Amino acid sequence: MSGHISFACHYSPDHHDARARAVAHGFLPAAVFALLALAGNGLAGCAKGEVASAGGANGSARGGAGGQVTSGAGGTIQIIDTLPTITPSSIDAEVTRQMVGCDGGDGCTCPPLNVAVLGKPGKWGANPNGDPDTALQDWLNSSSAGTARVDNFTNRVTLTSDFLATYDVIILASLSDDSNVGPFWTFDPSEVAAFQDWVTNKGGGVITLTGYSGNGQEINAPNQLIAFSGISYNNDGIGAPYSWPVSGCAGSNPISDWVKTDPVIANLSNNVTWIGLANGRSINAPADGHVAATVPGPPIANVLVGKLAGNGRVLVYADEWITYTTQWNGVGNPETNDPACAGFLPQDVYQTAQFWYNMIKWSQPSGSCFKIVDEQQPVVIW
């Protein structure tokens, strides 16, 4: 099948080394390496010494018999060989860091947004114990066109300055040995201080989740780490209003009350109408915090609160159902084949991928190159 590879050209003095390492480690076939070399020599319309970052409609480089390589200068190269699909997850972070272009002009390359997920996965979802929470990690690694990469730490790690410095965004999942029953982690004062410094001085972005357990102790660890922000979880239980048939088909109730008038947090609901929530916890917002979403009461409860904290950002969400695969693409949802649910399944009515993009982008505004290329769940980039 004929295909195109589009090259965006940005200068990088180490581009030859990056390409060579990609081939040597088996991440890029020699045929793709040759095309990149041609682009670097100006034969595809790029000046010599530039990095060419390839991306097709799905964030991969594809080619086939009779395919063409196109460049911004309008030049083309006929591809005779058949090339395999190259996805960002097949390229290691060092190579990706040097190959992803950005919009900052000459001498500019965009390092990928480095994301860490800390904590155990949830055990509930629409298919309890069978609803994995890897959708986020898979989505970031496969659909970000090399602009983001994610590491998952399910066991307790020590929060040192060196560890934290590796990441731009940290997502706090269930900080526990078992997300349902605990025991739940605690952090010593040096870790809490390092985490605060990473956010307020180093510009880190943190996203916290809760609702993994009926045990109220689950809120202690995230509250401990974000205490400096003045935002905290309450030891309660909240839900969004039941809405048939969505609630019955998705297993969760839709959040629909978004605060769009506050310019600080308006983008968090950009192109989002509904996302699912089930048995979460309400959030205390300080006077300098920004409430982005609520569920009706009485009393009205905050379910998404953000704060600008020094050089960084803190974003606190009331639930964990947005991590479950059923809430992204419906895989594993026991209601999938129910005729009454046609058009009302999570993948039909929720904008989970868009919501995650919005949260990550808001939490780390310095990630100017972060994007998502996903044909199945299109995301509006802002």
Short-list 27, 37, 34, CA closest to 89: 27
Amino acid 374: pLDDT: 83
Instruction: Set out the domains of the chain in order of their start, with CATH numbers.
Output: 4-99 (no CATH), 113-363 (3.40.50.880)
Q: Is the pLDDT of residue 349 over 50?
A: yes
Q: Is the pLDDT of residue 30 over 80?
A: no
Mean pLDDT of 137-154: 91
Which position has the higher pLDDT, 182 or 35? 182
Amino acid 119: pLDDT: 97
Say which range, 42-51, 113-122, 155-164, 232-241, has the weakest mean pLDDT. 42-51
Mean pLDDT of 195-211: 98
Amino acid 109: pLDDT: 66
Tens-digit pLDDT profile for residues 270-302 = 999 999 999 999 999 999 999 999 999 889 999
Q: Provide the percentage of residues in the chain whose pLDDT is more than 70.
A: 71
Rg of the chain, C-alpha, whole Å: 22
Which position has the higher pLDDT, 219 or 52? 219
Which position has the higher pLDDT, 276 or 374? 276
Residue burial 298-326, b: 16+ Cβ < 10 Å; e: rest: eeebbbbbbbbbbebbbbbbbbbbbbbbb
Amino acid 89: pLDDT: 36
Q: For residues 217 and 234, what is the distance between their CA atoms, to the nearest angstrom?
A: 10
Phi, psi of 107 (to 5 degrees): 75, 15
Q: Is the pLDDT of residue 255 over 60?
A: yes
Tens-digit pLDDT profile for residues 112-130 = 999 999 999 999 999 887 7
Amino acid 304: pLDDT: 98
Amino acid 128: pLDDT: 86
Tens-digit pLDDT profile for residues 72-103 = 333 332 323 333 333 333 334 433 334 444 44
Amino acid 72: pLDDT: 36
Q: Is the pLDDT of residue 257 over 80?
A: yes
Share the mean pLDDT of the chain: 78
